[in-house]
Structure 1
Amino acid sequence: MAAVRLLGALLLAGGAVAPPVPAAAEVAPRPAWLRVESHRTLDGLSDDLVTAGRGVGGLLSGPAPGYADPRAPTAEELRRASMFRRGDAGFGFGRLFGPNVETATGRLLEDDGRIAGEEYLAFTDDPAGRGSRHVAVLLQVPRDRSGERNCILAVPVNGSSALFRDIVDFGFWGLRRGCAVVYTDKGAGNGVHDLGTDTVHRIDGTRAPAAEAGEHAHFAADLAPEARRRLLAEAPHRIAFKHAHSRRNAEAGWGEDVLRTIRYAFWQLNERAGSERFTRANTLVIVAGNSNGGGAALYAGEADDAGLVDAVLAGEPQVQVRPEARAVVAYRGRERRDPGRTLLDYFTFGNLYLPCAAPALPEDAPGRAGIARAAERCASLREKGLLAADDLPAQAREALERVHAYGYDREVEILHAHNYSVVPDATAAKYVSAHGRFGVEDRVCGLSFAAVDAEGRPVAAPPEVLAQSFATAPGGAPFGPVDIVNDRDPTGPRRNALSVSPSTGRQDYNLDGALCLREMAVGGSPEARRVQAGIAEFLANGNLRGRPVIIVHGRLDDRVPAAFSSRPYLALNSLAEGDRGNLRYWEVENAEHFGLSGPGFDTRFVPLNLYLLRGLDALWAHLTAGAPIPPSQVVRTTPRGGRAGSAPPLVAAAVPPPAAEPAAGDRIEVRAGRAAIPD
C-alpha cells in the first residue's frame, strides 16, 4: 500500500500519473470518452440511493413497485423497479446483513437503509475505439460523505444486468462508509433492441425509436435498415441484446471499463466540488464485484498498472484463467492439473448432460420435477454415441458420472437440475455471440431471441413487456415471454425447450443446438475458432500486482463452480506473484450462487452476501488501520435445516466470520501453483 500512496494525482483523460494538483486548481477538462446523461438529488426520505424510498421494511414485506401506465413507465418508476430486491428475514436480510444493518456489530440503523445523496448517469467509450461503446455508468454520492478520508467503491455489476442490480446486495456498503460508489455495466448491460418496432432503451430505461435515441441509446443493433427488414422477413419479431449482439466482445474490455469508470468518478467528484479535492494521493479506491462482476474486478486488478486501485473484492467470480500446466488444485482426494475451465466450456458441457442426468438426482433436488424430457435427451445422446447405457436409469447415472468426471464436485449435484432450469442454452448462446463478435442477424447455431406464445412460437413482444424490460430483463433471455428460439426446428421456429431437433425428430431440448454450442467452445470450425479467439483475448494471468485482494466463493456454487474459477485462479496467482502476492480466498460452506431462500433452498443454504460485506470490512480495516486480513480458509457454516418452505430463521452463530487463525483442517494452503482445499 505504501507504494500506492506515492502515486500522484491521476490525469483523468489519459490515465497517466501526474504530480499532485493543488486543492484550488481548475477542474480538469471533461474526458473525450465521457457523456454525462443526467443528474438528480435524492432526499433520503421520499426517495433514496439504496431502497428508492421504500426502506428495508418495504423490501421485506411491501408490495412490488408498479406503474401508473404499464405501457409507458416513467424513468423514476423504472429505477424503483430495477432497485427492488425482495428480502427474506428468515435468510438474515434486514437482521444479520443488509442496508439497515451495521455488519460488524449487528446493530440496526434508524434510517431503515435509506441514504440521501446525488446520482449521475453517464456513458463511457473506449477512447482507442477498439473496445466497448456505450458502457453505462451510475455514480452515487452520499450526502454525508466520509469526514475521515476520500473514498471510492467501484462496482462492475453482476451478470448483464441493469446498473441498479447490486446496490441493495453490497453497493450500499460504500455509501454507508461515506464513499462515492460508481457502477458499470461493463458494456454488457440491459440494452434491449426490439427489431420489429425498432425501439431501444435510453440510459434511464425509457424506450424510444432507435433513430430518435441515437447516441443516447443503451444499445442499438448495428444493422442497416435494409438488413433489418431482411432479417425480419426471414425471422419476424426478433430481439437483439447489448451483451450478445454488440459485436464488441465486451469481456475483453471489462478490466479497462472498470478503471475508466474510476477515472470518471474522480472527474465528476471534482467537477461537482469545483476544485481538485479528490486525487489519487488522498483517496482510497476499492473495486468489488459479484459473479461476472467479480471476474471484472479481478481483470481490473490485473490491468491496473498505474496503481489506481488499492484493493479488490471478488465474489464468486466468473473469471476465466489462461492455461497453465503447473497449476494444480487438490480437493477430496482428487488432483486436477491445469484446472481452469472457460465459461463456455463448462456451460456447454453441462447443457449437454444435465437434462439427462436429472432422473439420477435426489427426488427433492430443486428443479428436478421441471425437467420433463430427460428421457428424450438421454435417448438422443445414446443415438449420437455420447452415452453407452441402454435404459433410462442407467443413462441418467452415466450422464451424472460424466459430469463428475468433467470436474464438477459431487456436493453440487443437488443443484444440477436448478442449474439447468436457469437456461444454460440461452446464456451459452449469448456468450458465443459475444465472444465471436456475431450480430443478431447471424443467429449462430440456428438460435435467436423473441417473445413466444403458449406453443413456443415467435410473436410480437407485448408493448408492456418491452416498456418494462429495463427492470425485468437480465441483459438477455429469458424474461417474461421472451426466450431463446430454435430457428431450425423442422416444424418451424419454436422456443428451444419445446422444439424438435432436426437430426433426432424428438423434443429433446434441441440436442442439435446444444451440440453446436459445444462445438463453438471446443471445436475446430471457422466459427468455433472465431469464438475461441475472442475468449483468448481476456484470459486472466493471475498477476494482481501485490495489492490486497479477497475472493469469496460458495462451495455449493453450481452456476460458476469454484472448481473451474476461484480455485484455479488461486493456484495461478501463486505462480504469477509468489511470495509477493496478497490474495486471500474464503470458501464458504453451504453457500450457492444466487442467494435463493425459497422452498428447497431455505433448509440447505446460507447467504454469501454476508461474506462479501465482511470481506469489504476486512479490506477497509486493512487499508485504514493496518489490520491483518483473515487468511485463506474454508468457512464452516450451518444451514437452517427444518422442513422445506418453513425453515427456522438463520442465526448469527450459524454464519461465523472468517477466523483470524483458522483451524488446521480449515486452512487453505497454496504454494508454487498448488492449492490444497480442505474437505
Structure 2
Amino acid sequence: MIGTLCAALAAVSLGACATGPTTTSAMALAKEAPMFTMQRTTEHRDGDDLLSAGLGLDGLREMVPPSFANPDRPTAAELRRRALWSNWRGIADLGPTGGFGSLYGSAAAVPGREFHAYATVPGARHPHRVMLQLPDDFDAGKRCVVVTASSGSRGIYGAIAVAGAWGLPNGCAVAYTDKGAGTDYVDLDTGTGVRSDGTRARLDAGDLAFRPALPQAASGVAFKHAHSGDNPEADWGRHVKQAAEFALATLNDALPQAAPFTFDNTRIIAVGISNGGGAVLRAAEGAADWLDAVVAAEPNVYIDAPGARTLYDYSTEAALLMPCALAHFDGLPQSPLSPVALVMRAPRCASLRAAGMIEGDDTAAQARSAHARLRDAGWSDGAMRAATLSVDFDLFRAVAVTYASAYGRYSVNAHPCGFTFAAQNPDFSARAATAAERAAWWSDASGVPPGPGAGIVDSTLAPPDFTLQGLQCLRALNDDDGAAARRVREGIAATTAGMPRKGLPVVVIHGADDGLVPMAFTSTPYVAAAKEAGADVRFWQVRNAQHFDGFLALPDYATRYVPMLPYVYAALDRVSAHLDGQGTLPADADIATTPRAAGSALEAAHLAIPGQ
C-alpha cells in the first residue's frame, strides 16, 4: 500500500500545484508535497460502523460511556468506540427533545473503512493526525470529499458530528485532521505516549503520535497543542489541505478502478465549527483553487481589520473581568457548576477594584464597572450572558493557559507563567495519574485540560481570589512589552487570516450570543473584510444561539438557545445543491429564532432556517 500511496501522492501534488505560481521551483513543490507515515486501515461493518462504532443514536445518548473490559489496558476498538461517543456528546445536542435524528441530522449506521496516517507540514517538529472515512456506498461517479478539522483541540474524531454526520450519509468520503492538537497525551511520570491506534506505549515506541523533548525530572502531563513547539494554529490551513491530499491519495489506492482522483475531478467541500471553522477559513486563503466550497460555523478566526480581536486578547480579558461582570445580571443561565462560580464573584470584584481595573465601593458597583468595561471592549450583553457557561467551567483560563504556551512555542515545564498540567488531588495539587486515567485520555479528553485525569496546576493559587495572580500574568503576555510577551504576541500574529479567493463560495454561520468566540470579534469583521475584497461570502447570524450545542442538554440552556448544527447541515445542503447546478447559494440572513419551552421538543419553526 505504501508504494501505491506514494505514487498517488505524486499525482495529487502535481495536480494541486498545476495552477500555482509559475515561479515556484520544483524543489519548493517537493518540499510542500505531504509525506504520510504510520498508515493503517480498519474495517467497520457488522455491528460496527463509521459514525458511531455500532452504538447508534440510542447508544450515543447513554449517559455512561462505553466500558473497557480492562480499564487499565483498553483495546484499540474499545478506545475508538469511546472516542466517538465522547466527541458526539461534546459537540451535538443528542437529548430526546433536541431534534437530532428526527428534525435534523443522522447517526444511522454507515459501514465502510477508515484510513489513518500522520502528516507533517514543512517546518513542523511534530505530525498531525489525518484520517479518511470511506463509506461502502461511496459514489465514485459523484466524487465528493468533505474535509474538516476538529473543533477546539479535540482528537481525530472531533468533527464526527459536524462533517461525518452530513458527509457519510450523503455518500461522500470524509477527511479529517486534528490540526496539530488532539488527545495524544504524554504521561511524564511513566514515560508513555499514544500510538496510532490510541493505545499507550513507552516513549521509545516507533509509532507515537507525539514525542516531546523532555527536561530532566519532568512530571505531569504533556500534550501537543501546548508543548509541540510548533504553534499549530499558524498552520491550520495547511493541515486542512494535507487532509484533503491524503483523501485523494487514499482514494486512488483504495479505488484503483476509478482512479485518478484529483482536485480537478473531485468535489472538495470544507466544513468546520469553532477552531475547525477557523481552520477551513484559513484553508480558503489566497488561490485555494483546490476547494469548491467552505462552510464555517462560529469560527475562531482573526484578521487585521476594524473590530477584530484575537482569541488570546478577549479570552484573557474575559477570564479576569467576566466573573465580576456577571454579578451585574439577573436571571443568568444555570449549570451544575454555577453555585461554585457564584461565590467567586465578590472576591474577583474586590480584587479588580484593588488592582485599579474597575471602580466602585461595593460588589454591585464594581460589577457595573466591570460590565461597562466589557461593553466598551465590544462584548454584547447576549454574549456575556452566554459566557456564564465558560466562567462556570473555567474555559477562559483553560484557553489562555494552553494558548500562551502554544503561541510562545514553549516546551514542557517552560510556561511563561509557570503553569503545568497533571492529574490532581482535591486541593488541586499535582499527583501521578492512575493507569486507568492514562488509558482513557485519548478517548475522553478534549485536548485542553482541565478534563478527566488531567488539570491545570497553578502554583500561585491563593485565597480569596484563587486564580487571580496566574490570570494577571497571562493577561500581561497580551499587554506588556517583556520578552515573554513579545514572544507570545509574535505567535499570535502568525495566526492572522487572509481573504478567501474570489469566486469560492463561503458560508459563515455564527450565533449572535456566542460567549466563547464572540461574533463581533471574529465572523463580523471577517465577513465585512472579505466582502470588501470581492469574495463570495454569505453570512448567517443566528439569534438566540451560543457556542456549545452539547450543553443544550442542560435544561436551562435548552430553553434559552437553539442548536447550531442544523444551520451547518442546511448550509451544506444548499452549497452542495448549488455545485450540482440545482439551487442558489444562501443569501445573508439575520435569523430570528424562538427557543423551545421547557420540556417541549425542538421543531422547525423554532429554527426558522432560511429557505425551509
What TM-score does the superposition give when structure 1 sets the normalisation length? 0.82
What corresponds to 1:180 in structure 2? 173
What corresponds to 1:540 in structure 2? 497
Cα separation, 1, equivalents of 2:580 and 2:567: 20
Distance apart, 1:370 and its partner CA: 2.3
What corresponds to 2:111 in structure 1? 116
Distance apart, 1:14 and its partner CA: 5.8
3-state SS of 1:552 partner: strand
What corresponds to 2:379 in structure 1? 408
Count of residue pairs the alignment pairs up:
580
Cα separation, 1, equivalents of 2:327 and 2:431: 33
The answer to whether residue 509 in structure 2 is matched with residue 552 in structure 1 is: yes
What corresponds to 2:578 in structure 1? 622
3-state SS of 2:244 partner: helix
Q: Which amino acid aligns with 1:377?
A: R
3-state SS of 2:507 partner: strand
Cα separation, 1, equivalents of 2:441 and 2:449: 11
Distance apart, 1:365 and its partner CA: 2.6
Q: Point out which structure has higher relative CO (alpha carbons under 8 A, 6+ apart).
A: 2
What corresponds to 1:386 in structure 2? 357
Cα separation, 1, equivalents of 2:171 and 2:611: 27
The answer to whether residue 238 in structure 2 is matched with residue 250 in structure 1 is: no
3-state SS of 2:97 partner: helix
| Bigger mean CA deviation after superposition, 277-286 or 465-474 | 277-286
What corresponds to 2:600 in structure 1? 648
What corresponds to 1:528 in structure 2? 485
The answer to whether residue 525 in structure 2 is matched with residue 568 in structure 1 is: yes
What is the correspondence of 1:108-507 to structure 2 with a 5 Å cutoff? 113-126=108-121, 128=122, 130-131=123-124, 133-146=126-139, 148-212=141-205, 214=206, 216-223=207-214, 227-229=215-217, 232=218, 237-274=219-256, 276-303=259-286, 305=287, 307-322=289-304, 324=305, 338-367=306-335, 368-371=338-341, 372-423=343-394, 424-487=396-459, 489=460, 499-500=461-462, 506-507=463-464
Please tell me whether Structure 1 or Structure 2 has the larger radius of gyration of its CA atoms.
1
Q: Which amino acid aligns with 2:387?
A: H
Q: Which amino acid aligns with 1:37?
A: Q
Q: Which amino acid aligns with 1:302?
A: E
What corresponds to 1:666 in structure 2? none
Cα separation, 1, equivalents of 2:360 and 2:34: 62
What corresponds to 1:586 in structure 2? 540
Distance apart, 1:446 and its partner CA: 1.8
> After superposition, what is the alpha-carbon deviation per residue over 1:78-134, rounded to whole angstroms, capped at 9, x for unaligned?
10011013421211112111225xxxxxxxxxxxx10011101100012x3x13631
* Structure 1 residues 61 and 457: CA distance shift in structure 2, 3 A: closer
Q: Which amino acid aligns with 2:544?
A: N
> After superposition, what is the alpha-carbon deviation per residue over 1:463-482, rounded to whole angstroms, capped at 9, x for unaligned?
11111001111112011242
* Structure 1 residues 393 and 68: CA distance shift in structure 2, 3 A: same
Cα separation, 2, equivalents of 1:529 and 1:658: 45
What corresponds to 1:331 in structure 2? none
Q: Which amino acid aligns with 1:294?
A: G
Cα separation, 1, equivalents of 2:125 and 2:525: 28
Task: Work out whether residues 38 and 196 of structure 2, in 8 Å CA contact, stay in contact via their aligned partners in 1.
Answer: no
The answer to whether residue 95 in structure 2 is matched with residue 88 in structure 1 is: yes
Task: Work out whether residues 441 and 453 of structure 2, in 8 Å CA contact, stay in contact via their aligned partners in 1.
Answer: no
Cα separation, 1, equivalents of 2:506 and 2:10: 22
Task: Work out whether residues 17 and 306 of structure 1, in 8 Å CA contact, stay in contact via their aligned partners in 2.
Answer: no
Cα separation, 1, equivalents of 2:159 and 2:576: 19
Cα separation, 2, equivalents of 1:546 and 1:477: 40
What corresponds to 1:72 in structure 2? 73
* Structure 1 residues 652 and 454: CA distance shift in structure 2, 3 A: same
Cα separation, 2, equivalents of 1:650 and 1:272: 41
Task: Work out whether residues 415 and 558 of structure 1, in 8 Å CA contact, stay in contact via their aligned partners in 2.
Answer: yes
Structure 2: which 5+ runs fail to align? Answer: 1-8, 20-29
Distance apart, 1:62 and its partner CA: 7.6
What TM-score does the superposition give when structure 2 sets the normalisation length? 0.91
3-state SS of 2:384 partner: helix
Structure 1: which 5+ runs fail to align? Answer: 1-8, 20-27, 101-112, 325-337, 490-498, 501-505, 661-679
3-state SS of 1:90 partner: coil
**Alignment partner of 1:510 out of 454, 467, 491:** 467
Cα separation, 2, equivalents of 1:61 and 1:485: 32
**Alignment partner of 1:519 out of 468, 476, 485:** 476
Cα separation, 1, equivalents of 2:15 and 2:227: 29
Task: Work out whether residues 148 and 163 of structure 2, in 8 Å CA contact, stay in contact via their aligned partners in 1.
Answer: no
Q: Which amino acid aligns with 1:546?
A: G
Cα separation, 2, equivalents of 1:57 and 1:222: 43
What corresponds to 2:555 in structure 1? 599
| Bigger mean CA deviation after superposition, 632-641 or 355-364 | 355-364
Q: Which amino acid aligns with 2:494?
A: E
Task: Work out whether residues 511 and 543 of structure 2, in 8 Å CA contact, stay in contact via their aligned partners in 1.
Answer: yes
> After superposition, what is the alpha-carbon deviation per residue over 1:341-377, rounded to whole angstroms, capped at 9, x for unaligned?
0000000000111122232222443244221222222
Distance apart, 1:599 and its partner CA: 2.1
Cα separation, 2, equivalents of 1:478 and 1:362: 28
Cα separation, 2, equivalents of 1:220 and 1:15: 33
Amino-acid identity (%): 36
Task: Work out whether residues 75 and 206 of structure 1, in 8 Å CA contact, stay in contact via their aligned partners in 2.
Answer: yes
Distance apart, 1:57 and its partner CA: 2.6
